[in-house]
Amino acid sequence: GRTHDSTYTLYRLGERLSTGVRLYVETGRADGLDTDGDSPNSLHSFAGPPIPQGEGTSVTRAFLDGNHTLISIMARINPSPDWFVGVDSFQLCVEGNWVDTVTVELDPLDGGTDNGFTFTAANWPTQPQGIAYRITSRYPAHPAGSFYYPNLPRLPPIATLTFTKVRN
């Protein structure tokens, strides 16, 4: 993840992923993300320990300041073609006050780099690269899709993030 100002983008739904983010969502390799955090618009780069399988919790700390009040986080869904969860430019300072605690429910996101519909789909690169998008109960509309439940109005959240202010 990154803490940053409004000019920095780790990823954005509706846009193509950067090369480093693409490498991360497809393979889990984060080395392409390292240079991304060197931007003067990014204050702090951080990583939490992975959850080895199934359900679990991961805890880490992030540093923000008055010029870098946004946080972007992504975590790869593994196994998957290019799926992940995350938040993009989530504001942690509202009207000059730091948020004490907030929980965000996360939906699965598709990186737009692989056409696979299932968790263990073979590599099927999207050519040309598509855009990142939110996976829903009805989209992508393929009966073999791991998240395709057309009778559900909405998928249940696949993950939650809780931000807690530790100190001012």
Domain residue spans of the chain: 1-49+60-167
pLDDT (tens digit, 9 = 90+) per residue, 25-49?
999 999 888 766 567 899 999 999 9
Asked if 101 and 42 touch (Cβ cutoff 8 Å), the reply is no
Q: What is the pLDDT of residue 18?
A: 96
Asked if 120 and 77 touch (Cβ cutoff 8 Å), the reply is no
Q: What is the pLDDT of residue 24?
A: 97
pLDDT (tens digit, 9 = 90+) per residue, 47-99?
999 998 889 999 999 999 999 999 999 999 999 999 999 999 999 999 999 99
Asked if 118 and 146 touch (Cβ cutoff 8 Å), the reply is yes
Is the predicted pLDDT of residue 121 greater than 80, yes or no?
Answer: yes
Report whether CATH 2.60.40 matches the domain 1-49+60-167. Answer: yes
pLDDT (tens digit, 9 = 90+) per residue, 123-144?
999 999 999 999 999 999 999 9
Is the predicted pLDDT of residue 152 greater than 70, yes or no?
Answer: yes
Q: What is the pLDDT of residue 37?
A: 58
Phi then psi dihedrals of residue 32, to 5 deg:
-70, -15
